[in-house]
Amino acid sequence: MKAVRSPALRLWGRLAESTHVRRRERQTVLEGVHLLQGYQAKGGIPLHWFIRASVAADPEVSALRRHSLWPEAAVLADDLFDEYSSLQSPGGVAALISWPAAPASFPTEESCLVLDGLQDPGNVGTLLRSAAAAGMPTVVCASGTVQVWSPKVLRAGMGAHFQLTLHEGADLRDWFPCYAGTILGAEREASRAYDDFDLTGTVALVIGNEGAGLTPDARKLLHDRIHIPMATGVESLNAGVAGSILLFERQRQIRAGKKGRQEQQE
């Protein structure tokens, strides 16, 4: 006899599989204790959540269950949990959440990271982690970029989503002309190196697609192009690595400026 699946369990399956369903419902799936801990720490409350029976007594899982505002978890038999989990080694907990609404308008007077058509969830998650770590609080995803709230990007982001303001679906032709800061695009053929620019002001750092690079729309609207010098014979850097280098160069310059001002005051 086939087991009866609850509506919440069926919703988990649809959200895990379908970009369309996630976008329509504005909901997604978190898997793994670390992600749920990060979500809980930021005050998030899941719609539903599930525990693999064999880890129900785990101290970290028990700590999640003690949150007074969270709904009661559904404890599932291991084989049933594994049927829905998208992880090769199921982490033992999963939650269905509504993703936060982005601000009504795209940023015009604050620094941001711009993802222009990136398709690899690992690269996008890496860049979100680097943005959070380097103090770049806003990330704008142009049309054509992989869905930032997909389970794969969430896993790669390791909780960075909950520390950032995220925008999706930006039309660069409409937004970039309204942006008050400097728009800099990373390109291998650029003549000026990344550390030749002052990144301490209001700046949009644009990272293009892993294979095709920046889109024509982005390239036409840049204020300048920057590159990362590499050893002879090396064709390119991974998009996640390249973007991370730029983010931390900006952070380095900001820190150096603060240190210089402090030394002048002493």
Tens digit of each residue's pLDDT (9 = 90 or more) over 30-89: 999 999 999 999 999 999 999 999 999 999 999 999 998 999 999 999 999 999 998 877
The pLDDT-based confidence of 248 (bands split at 50, 70, 90) is very high
State yes or no: pLDDT of 254 exceeds 70.
Answer: yes
Cα distances from 50 to residues 44, 69, 98, 259, in angstroms, run 16, 16, 16, 48
Cβ neighbors of 263 (< 8 A, separation 6 or more) are none
Q: How far apart are CA 255 and CA 86, in angstroms?
A: 40
Instruction: Report the predicted TM-score, pTM, of the whole model to 2 decimal places.
Output: 0.91
Q: How far apart are CA 135 and CA 194, in angstroms?
A: 18
State yes or no: pLDDT of 264 exceeds 70.
Answer: no
Amino acid (one-letter) located at 239 = A
How confident is the model over 181-210, as pLDDT tens digits?
999 999 988 889 999 999 999 999 999 998
CB 32 within 8 A of CB 91: yes
